[in-house]
Amino acid sequence: MNDEQRRKERLDRGLKVRADSLYALMSWRELGYLTLPRFVLIAGILVMPFLMPSMYWQRVISVACIYAILAMSFDLLAHYVGLVSLGGAFFIGTGGYIAAVLNTSLGIPPLVCIPIAAIAGGVICTILLLPCLPLRGVYFAIVTLMYPLALGRVIEALDILGGTDGILGVESFPNRWVEQYFVIAMVLLFLFGLRRLVNVDLGLVLRAVKDNDQAVKASGMSIAFFKALAVFIASGMGCLAGACIVHIYMWSGISLFALDFSILPIAATVIGGGGTLVGPVLGCFILVPISELLREFGTLRIVAYSVILMAFVVFRSEGIMNYGQRKYHQFERWVKV
């Protein structure tokens, strides 16, 4: 009986193996293999504003960058620490309102407001999320889901912080190029910063919390502390994004707590490839322009994101970047068994 069976085998490309070690420095080809994707990314993102046909679309790029920062924070929390944040809007709203208040009441210039809002907002959000950190992931999801909804209503009901009208008259950036490149710089900073972070010792501990928290506890470290640290980083990023958007639109209102900010980062992460930190950025740059094009259709956008999101998650698509990385680094072939 000659029953030949085959199976698919995935191997790292030779180029990757050579490029993995120090010997990559010996050859232009290997160096190129490593640096080309990063170069394309950086160059692409820096050049994009010039390629845009109008100021309207340049603003869309800025908004996409804001979403990208939020999506990266979602990816960090979900795929590296194991906490699913269903309410990105919570961070955006907190950061946005803090920046708006600092700017309109205290007259602080935007470029100073933003860092302050990021850090202050990070602290506030972390404190508010502290109770659910020692517990299972489901509680974190529930609480992050609820905070934006509840806060929106509280502001509306108490009519504080501008109530339904919001806070008007927030200063804008000095000029539109600063606006544009500031957010782009933030995206690149966080992207490369986070990618570095998850590979240093602290990042390894965070990833270990997701992988096997009992072992981390048995090693003498408090899970709640490291989760809180991760939440601080993520919420700081989200608040920074919120502060930026408030200065772009020159207005801060309840719509900062809208579902858009909660669901689009998740959809972008899932489509772009979770766990890669680049995937969410890519996903945002795909989804935000589409969202602009669909603007006339109102909340159909959210329906569309939700359906796509659900389809990707359930049918377990790995996302664009995961697929891309796999193809780039590995090849497949049939092998006789």
Site of interaction with another protein (CB under 8 A)? 78-79, 82, 84, 86, 131-132, 134-139, 141-143, 145-147, 149-150, 153-154, 156-158, 201-202, 204-205, 207-208, 211-223, 259, 263, 266, 270, 297-300, 302-303, 306-307, 309-310, 313-316
Minimal distance in Å, beta carbon 284 to another protein? 17
> Which residue in 238, 237, 247, 233 sits closest to 113, CA to CA?
247
The structure tokens listed for 2 are 């000659």
Residue among 147 and 285 whose Cβ is closer to another protein? 147
Report the DSSP pairing between strands 330-336 and 6-12.
antiparallel
At closest approach, how far in Å is the CB of 245 from another protein? 21
51 or 303, CB closer to another protein?
Answer: 303
Q: How many residues does the chain have?
A: 337
Nearer Cβ to another protein (211/332):
211
Whole-number minimum distance, CB 65 to another protein, in Å?
23
Residues 6+ apart with CB under 8 A from 87: 144, 145, 146, 147, 148, 149, 262
The tokens describing 238, both together, are 């989200």
CB nearer to another protein: pick between 4 and 296: 296
| Alpha-carbon span 191 to 305, nearest angstrom | 23
Q: Two tokens at 84? A: 């699913």
Neighbouring C-alpha atoms within 13 Å toward the C-beta of 290: 15
Least distance to another protein, CB of residue 244, Å: 25
Question: Which residue number, 42 or 84, has a Cβ lying nearer to another protein?
Answer: 84
Q: For residue 205, which amino acid is it? A: V
Q: Are 81 and 73 in contact, with CB atoms under 8 Å apart?
A: no
CB of residue 214 to another protein, shortest distance in Å: 7
